[in-house]
Amino acid sequence: MKQDMILILDLGSEENPKIAREIRAMGVYTEIHPHDISAETLSALPGVKGIILNGGPNRVVDGVSIDAGDAVYQSGLPVLCADHKGEPAFPADDAARADVLHRFVFDTCKAEANWNMENFIADQVELVRRQVGDRKVLLALSGGVDSSVVAALLIRAIGKQLTCVHVNHGLLRKGEPEQVVEVFRDQMDANLIYVDATDRFLDKLAGVDEPEQKRKIIGTEFIRVFEEEARKLEGIDFLAQGTIYPDIIESGTKTVKAVKSHHNVGGLPEDLGFELVEPLKMLFKDEVRACGKALGLPDNMVYRQPFPGPGLGVRCLGAITRDRLEAVRESDAILREEFADAGLEGKVWQYFTVVPDFKSVGVHDGLRTFDWPVILRAVNTVDAMTATVEDVPFALLQKITARITSEVKGVNRVLYDLTPKPSGTIEWE
């Protein structure tokens, strides 16, 4: 390992991830561990220069005050006890807090600011090679940020010992499956198995209009297709996954309850019988993007907005039909193009189109039409638990409306969704 590390011990403060990020932003690597870390685990962690204990109001669990174990106090490492006896953790204002952290990290611990992507990638390449040896690894490559960055990293580490499987469930955005093949097979020369399972998914979904039922079918079918492909391959020992640090933090530590359970359609069950390779598991999302960029992935892959596992399936409302699905895909492509032209790409958190399963009357070349509406949605959020609606310039909405009503088959009307979350969710289903 090439980096110094500041260890944050979790005594229940919800601020720990933020502190971890702030110190990483100073160029020093951080990890969050449980408060009762053992002496063995502590001494096995490479490069630890100092320890921060931070509990905040959660430091008292079920009426009992918790503290770090003896291992911490006997380690001889500098300890910043940020909230002794239940006092507020750090100075409330951000600048004062950054100053406290900065002085602890650099003056007290004498840590070096040597955390950067080149070192991270070099370390991970070495660790993966050590873990995998000359054996083989399988990856479900969805084309989303996390799985794409895992693929790029593993291609650098072990080349053709990695097999990527890209399952196209027919519910991806326009151009996405093509880009996965182009980037990974053509440019990076990866072993890539491309499975077009569109018909299989749409057949299973035919006539199903209940949103959770749709999600379940898509999730289950995804695992089936992936397992079928995995079974055709021989001698695979490892499964690579795009687990990232917030997944680990959010799934709950000893003192913090799980923030939310992951409705991770497109995720795989844990009992596939493989050992896991998870090279991004210590990275925050923005660091994953920086890693992807450093590995040469295109910007539109690395800075892509979140996209739900069930894809366009939950934006083609009610029972999915091929013609309405195409209307979602085409209108979404137009929206994305226009947002990019207007400089909004990467600035608005999530934006997409929805096609409901009812029609309205319109007029075209003097003739009556009876077609679907397209609903536009553009929202901003920090954690997807609440969201505000983007104030899209009216002229841009008009331009998008004109393009969608003239270019997308079967659509005669465009609506803009003004609903924040709550009361609406971000998706319509």
Q: Which of 102, 200, 413, 421 binds ligand XMP (CB under 6 A)?
A: 421
Q: Is residue 264 a contact point for ligand XMP (CB under 6 A)?
A: yes
Q: Which of 308, 312, 317, 375 binds ligand XMP (CB under 6 A)?
A: 308
Show Cβ contacts of residue 11 under 8 Å, excluding neighbours closer than 6 positions: 35, 53, 54, 55, 56, 58, 59, 66, 67, 68, 83, 255
* Integer CA distances (angstroms), 418 to 236, 357, 403, in order: 49, 20, 21
Long-range contacts of 106-112 (CB under 8 A, 24+ apart): 106/26, 108/50, 108/78, 108/80, 109/4, 109/6, 109/49, 109/50, 109/77, 109/78, 110/49, 111/4, 111/5, 111/6, 111/28, 111/49, 111/50, 112/4, 112/28
Nearer to ligand XMP, 12 or 219 (CB): 219
Nearer to ligand XMP, 215 or 329 (CB): 215
Nearer to ligand XMP, 36 or 429 (CB): 429
Nearer to ligand XMP, 89 or 379 (CB): 379
Closest contact distance (angstroms) between CB of 212 and ligand XMP is 9
Closest contact distance (angstroms) between CB of 374 and ligand XMP is 18
Q: Is residue 310 a contact point for ligand XMP (CB under 6 A)?
A: yes
- Interface positions, 16-55, toward ligand XMP (CB under 6 A): none
Nearer to ligand XMP, 173 or 215 (CB): 215
Contact 122, 148 (CB under 8 A): no
Contact 124, 153 (CB under 8 A): yes
Closest contact distance (angstroms) between CB of 426 and ligand XMP is 3
Q: Which of 103, 135, 263, 364 binds ligand XMP (CB under 6 A)?
A: 263
Tokens of 111: 């840590």
Closest contact distance (angstroms) between CB of 349 and ligand XMP is 8
Closest contact distance (angstroms) between CB of 283 and ligand XMP is 19
Contact 8, 54 (CB under 8 A): yes
Nearer to ligand XMP, 116 or 251 (CB): 251
Applying CB under 6 A, the span of 128-136, 191-199, 259-267, 390-398 interacting with ligand XMP comes to 259-267
Q: Is residue 306 a contact point for ligand XMP (CB under 6 A)?
A: yes
Applying CB under 6 A, the span of 11-19, 80-88, 187-195, 261-269 interacting with ligand XMP comes to 261-269
Nearer to ligand XMP, 55 or 310 (CB): 310
- Interface positions, 201-220, toward ligand XMP (CB under 6 A): 215
Please tell me the distance from the alpha carbon of residue 42 to that of residue 75, in angstroms, as a whole number: 8
- Interface positions, 330-389, toward ligand XMP (CB under 6 A): 350, 384
**How close are the terminal C-alpha atoms of the chain, in Å?**
45
Q: DSSP state, 368?
A: E
Q: Is residue 260 a contact point for ligand XMP (CB under 6 A)?
A: no
Q: Is residue 153 a contact point for ligand XMP (CB under 6 A)?
A: no
Helix, strand and coil in the chain, % to nearest 5? 40, 20, 40
Q: Output the CA angle 164-1-288, nearest 5 degrees.
A: 45
Please tell me the distance from the alpha carbon of residue 241 to that of residue 260, in angstroms, as a whole number: 20
Closest contact distance (angstroms) between CB of 175 and ligand XMP is 19
Would you tell me which residues interact with ligand XMP (CB under 6 A)?
215, 263-265, 306, 308-310, 350, 384, 421, 425-427
